[in-house]
């Protein structure tokens, strides 16, 4: 059935918030049903992700990692939405969405290999339903619709989750994906993480629309805006969108209002050129880890020890993953050529022989 929007845009796209900055529940009715173990696990993952991000930045500065897009500030938006996914659901991330990939089952050392540009970093375990991080802004959205339509045709109880940023909503692919998914009622969840800047361009210069969530209206699908620093709101929105799709009602666009504390990527971006420290400080006060920690401590289900344990685990795992990545053999030109076609074409075969002979000499 078509989604019914009548009334004011603001009424439909007011921000879903469940947990305020002091860790108080402000919307008891919308509070998702989660066990204490689930709440603790979500907090553990967010802490782990923050520590891992800090380690990744420092490894990048040491030249031990390659391409890396920082995630601090976006932990609730990333980790809590992935938390709503089923193991069998498909994940289509952008290049920043490495945490979701890891929590969905990508071994950490593979994420590091991807960062370094090693093809083994894109060779996923068979049980992991995910597509490699997308570089072209918005391209993963149309692929998500294809996967979702395939899941529907196969009558599977799985959903395709797609992640992109605020900048992607200016792309044709973003709209094409939602529009196709709406027409086919494909079981997809599109998550737009609005961190306010597409590299340097503020969201106000991407669109004249009041919200990004309302762009769902044009495609005739569900749209919802959530406080992206509130893990409970993000989880509730993602869970509801998943249930909606699973029930055969089609896709949802979720806009999460969030912020990245760091630069766009570690390849020379300087955020002081386009945003003020005051703005960043203001967002840091709403930090997702702080408010979730306060909430869990009040419930008596999170302690300093838990925090230290999660942090130590992250550091330990990063060290191990780095060692494992270092141990993967260097790639050869013949590996690259060998992954072009099922059976090498004549030109590729000739080049495999040529480079193979040279690689043989080097041994």
Partner 1 sequence: MTQMTMIQAITDAMRTELRNDENVLVFGEDVAKNGGVFRATEGLYDEFGEERVFDTPLAESGIGGLALGLALQNYRPVMEIQFFGFVFEAMDSVASQLARLRYRSGGNYHAPVTIRSPFGGGVRTPELHADNLEGLFAQCPGLKVVIPSNPYDAKGLLIAAIRDNDPVIFLEHMKLYRSFREEVPEEAYTVEIGKANIVREGKDVSIITYGAMVRTALKAAEQLSKEGIECELIDLRTISPLDTETIADSIKKTNRAVVVQEAQKQAGISAQVIAEINDRVLLHLDAPVGRVAAPDSVFPFAAAEDVWLPNERDIIDQVKETLNF
State the DSSP string of 70-81. Answer: --TT-HIIIIIH
* By CB under 8 A, residue 24 contacts partner 1: no
Burial group, residue 62, by CB count within 10 angstroms (0-12, 13-18, 19+): exposed
The region of 42-50, 147-155, 256-264, 294-302 touching partner 1 under the rule CB under 8 A is 147-155
Is residue 136 close enough to count as binding partner 1 by CB under 8 A? Answer: yes
Q: Per rule CB under 8 A, is residue 131 in the interface with partner 1?
A: yes
Shortest Cβ 336–partner 1 spacing (Å) = 7
58 is a contact residue toward partner 1 (CB under 8 A): no
Q: In angstroms, what is the minimal distance from the CB of 315 to partner 1?
A: 28
| 180 contributes a contact to partner 1 by CB under 8 A | yes
CB neighbour class for 356 (10 Å; exposed up to 12, middle 13-18, buried from 19): middle
Shortest Å distance, C-beta 325 to partner 1: 14
Work out the angle between the directed axes of helices 36-61 and 304-327 (0-180°, nearest 10): 50
**Residue 23 near partner 1 by CB under 8 A:** no
- Which residue in 38, 61, 210, 341 binds partner 1 (CB under 8 A)? 341
Looking at the Cβ atoms of 272 and 346, the one nearer to partner 1 is 346
H/E stretch holding 118 reads none
Residues classed as catalytic: 260, 264, 274
**What is the C-alpha to C-alpha distance for residues 327 and 112, in angstroms, rounded to an integer?**
12
Quote the DSSP letter at residue 25: B
Decide if residue 94 touches partner 1 (CB under 8 A): no
Residue 61 contacts partner 1 per CB under 8 A? no
Query: Which residue's CB is nearer to partner 1, number 226 or number 352?
Result: 352
Is residue 345 a contact point for partner 1 (CB under 8 A)?
A: yes
Give me the long-range contacts of 58-66 (CB less than 8 A, separation at least 24): 59/318, 59/322, 60/115, 60/266, 61/266, 64/322, 65/112, 65/115, 65/116, 65/266, 66/115, 66/116, 66/117
Q: Which stretch binds partner 1 (CB under 8 A): 41-49, 173-181, 194-202, 294-302?
A: 173-181
Rounded distance between C-alpha atoms, residue 77 and residue 126, angstroms: 26
- Does 143 participate in binding partner 1 (rule CB under 8 A)? yes
Q: Which of 88, 117, 172, 202 binds partner 1 (CB under 8 A)?
A: 172
C-alpha to C-alpha distances, 58 to 144, 204, 266, 313, nearest whole angstrom: 33, 32, 10, 17
| Cα distances (Å, whole numbers) of residue 138 to 158, 332, 353 | 22, 31, 38
Q: How far is the CB of 353 from partner 1 (least distance, A)?
A: 14
Sites of contact with partner 1 (CB under 8 A): 90, 119-124, 126, 131-132, 136, 139, 141-151, 153-154, 160, 172-173, 176-177, 179-180, 183, 336, 338-342, 345-348
């Amino acid at each position: 059935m078509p989604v019914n929007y009548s009334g004011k845009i603001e009424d439909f796209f007011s921000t879903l918030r469940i947990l305020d900055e002091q860790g108080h529940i402000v919307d008891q009715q919308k509070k998702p049903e989660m066990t204490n173990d689930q709440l603790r696990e979500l907090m553990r993952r967010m802490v782990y992700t923050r520590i891992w991000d800090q380690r990744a930045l420092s490894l990048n500065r040491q030249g031990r990692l390659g391409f890396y897009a920082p995630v601090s500030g976006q932990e609730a938006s990333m980790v809590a939405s992935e938390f709503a996914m089923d193991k069998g659901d498909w994940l289509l991330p952008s290049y920043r969405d490495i945490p979701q990939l890891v929590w969905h089952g990508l071994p950490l050392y593979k994420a590091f290999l991807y960062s370094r540009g090693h093809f083994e970093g894109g060779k996923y375990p068979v049980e992991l339903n995910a597509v490699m991080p997308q570089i072209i802004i918005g391209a993963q959205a149309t692929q998500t619709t294809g996967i979702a339509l395939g899941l529907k045709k196969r009558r599977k109880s799985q959903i395709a989750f797609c992640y992109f940023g605020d900048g992607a909503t200016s792309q044709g692919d973003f709209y094409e994906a939602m529009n196709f998914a709406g027409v086919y009622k494909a079981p997809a969840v599109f998550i737009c993480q609005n961190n306010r800047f597409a590299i340097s361009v503020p969201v106000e210069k991407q669109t004249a629309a009041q919200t990004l969530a309302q762009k769902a209206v044009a495609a005739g699908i569900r749209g919802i805006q959530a406080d992206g620093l509130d893990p409970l709101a993000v989880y509730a929105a993602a869970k509801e969108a998943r249930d909606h799709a699973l029930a055969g009602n089609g896709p949802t666009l979720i806009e999460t209002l969030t912020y990245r504390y760091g630069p766009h990527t570690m390849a020379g971006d300087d955020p002081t050129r386009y945003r003020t420290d005051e703005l960043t400080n203001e967002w840091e006060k709403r930090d997702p880890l702080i408010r979730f920690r306060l909430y869990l401590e009040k419930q008596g289900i999170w302690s300093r020890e838990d925090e230290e344990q999660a942090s130590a685990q992250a550091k330990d795992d990063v060290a191990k993953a780095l060692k494992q990545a270092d141990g993967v053999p260097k790639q050869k030109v013949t590996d690259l050529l060998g992954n072009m076609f099922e059976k090498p074409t004549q030109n590729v075969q000739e080049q495999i022989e040529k480079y193979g002979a040279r690689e043989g000499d080097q041994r």
